[in-house]
Structure 1
């Protein structure tokens, strides 16, 4: 299968690209390397350095003729979306529209779009089902949800198939704490430097952490399954940041004493996503528990940074 992966030099995109190539698919990565890293392209993937909003993207479609697009390129920071809302919409909304236009103009069969738990906003119940009210608290949540509507319209108007994957908090090897970093990558970066981790809030806010390998497998399943589906990709478990630090302390053999600072505007207090639709539609289940995933991520950090924790 010919698969175009936008944002394929980033944390999630590069892991998906490697798995697709191992499965024998022909891969083309598109990335402008604003946050993506050359070192993530370990397997010699064919790559075009280009912005997804560039007019030249249409020539990329014409030359490669993809059957499926996995659209990972995005602005992923809640904080940055609040500081630079125009940039946020330029990448997440306009950029997705440019990719969708390339799909319909060049006979792409399907687009796989990673959305976010941020689209739900403050939950009225936990775990959150896909039918939950959409009420994002941040500009990031708005710009991740708006493309979902465009994708569904492109399906109705032009027959472009899709699977929308609403991720919970993804973590694992290659996540950059300074670029597209989530809280686990940021904690590990602090720990590896011998610094105290910083918690925004009281630490009792909860998250649903999902390991990168499980996210990759959901994308692989979506190549052929999940037609016109919108599903949560999550572990369906709820862990507080204080609990997370306790588990990390057990793994590294040290008691971690965090610094507590003020909450960040736009962040959700509690999050847990019901993954039963993904289990049913994609024949997928998460395989990696949190402690195993954290241990695997720490091994990666030790190897890549040559730092003994």
Structure 2
């Protein structure tokens, strides 16, 4: 039985990855400090270690368990927080990732698969959908820390022989997503609508993102695990969707007319984003399977069930 360690395994995406690995009959260890993750998301067959990825005592986990692969999802994910606190963002996302990578090498882990970002990696790119070959233009400390971690993965692969792969995800949404954060507009808007509150849009609402359902993200992780490829891959739908279009989808699902409240736009907010995923489709055979309409329906229905 293969043993895998999932950092951030109590979080939104991580908890689904835990479920999928257990369904494959892997032995699953979770490293999560529960600062944002939830115990209620944790599969009963997984073993939780409530620790910070920066702590030295995570070595105990690697010493005690013969870990084959690390899925590294833990990190600081709030873009605005990173702008106000770049030193904290770097401490978690860069030094924390380095700690994980050093443990992997020291204890003979075969592979490390990293959850990076595609949504903010390329800035306001002139080519949309944007391919991996487009020069990264991180416009926030968060994106910069993710790019730096990617470079460290490459270093550990070239220097120590650790198999590494970075997945640059678009905007992932779905059930279990925290509606209290800054990202995840589908979750945020869904909760607002269910509470009969007015969704807030910063700016005119024409800014676009590439929205992908969480199960498609999990498929990408598992294909990455099965593959021998290295480097980085975009993971998204390649389609732009505006905030106003998200409101329209939710309006149809909820069966109500929704008029969002518009407020001042955020300085430096990215205007457009969509990822060219030709490479991962060609190399790993991955493609998104859940349409935006179906995914929003599933997500809204889940939030509705949570308040009943």
TM-score normalised per structure 1? 0.96
Q: What is the Cα deviation at residue 283 of structure 1?
A: 1.2
* Of 50-59 and 176-185, the range deviating more from structure 2: 176-185
**1:201 CA displacement:** 1.4
Return the offset for 1:281: 1.6
Q: Aligned ranges for residues 97-246 of structure 1 at < 5 Å?
A: 97-117=98-118, 118-179=120-181, 181-225=183-227, 227-246=229-248
Aligned to 1:66: 67
Aligned residues of 1:28 and 1:46 also touching (Cα < 8 A): yes
Q: Between Structure 1 and Structure 2, how many residues are aligned?
A: 306
Alignment partners' CA distance in 1, 2:183 and 2:140: 17
- Hey, what does 2:89 align to over in structure 1? 88
3-state SS of paired residue (2:4): strand
Q: 1:70 to 1:45 in 2, by over 3 A?
A: same
The answer as to whether partners of 2:3 and 2:66 remain within 8 angstroms in 1 is yes
CA distance in 2, matches of 1:2, 1:214: 23
Native 8 Å contact 1:7 1:74 kept in 2: yes
Q: Bigger shift: 282-291 or 35-44?
A: 35-44
Q: What secondary structure is seen at the aligned counterpart in 1 of 2:149?
A: helix
1:121-169 Cα deviation digits (max 9, x unpaired) = 1111110000011111111110111000000000010001111100000
Supply the RMSD in Å over aligned alpha carbons.
1.1
> C-alpha distance in 1, partners of 2:305/2:228?
36
2:290 is the counterpart of 1:261: no
Unpaired stretches in structure 1, ≥5 consecutive residues: none
The residue aligned with 1:17 is 18
Counterparts in 2 of 1:22 and 1:173: CA distance versus 1, 3 Å: same
Q: TM-score, structure 2 length as denominator?
A: 0.97
Q: Is the 8 A contact 2:201 2:262 kept in 1?
A: yes
CA contact (8 A) 2:22 2:45 kept: no
Output one character per residue of 1:103-137: Cα deviation in whole Å (capped at 9) or x when no partner.
Answer: 00010111000111212111111100000111111
Q: What are structure 2's unaligned runs of at least 5 residues? A: none
The residue matched to 1:56 in structure 2 has which SS? Answer: helix
3-state SS in 1 of match to 2:134: coil
Cα pair 2:18 2:43 within 8 Å, conserved: no
Q: CA deviation at 1:178?
A: 1.6
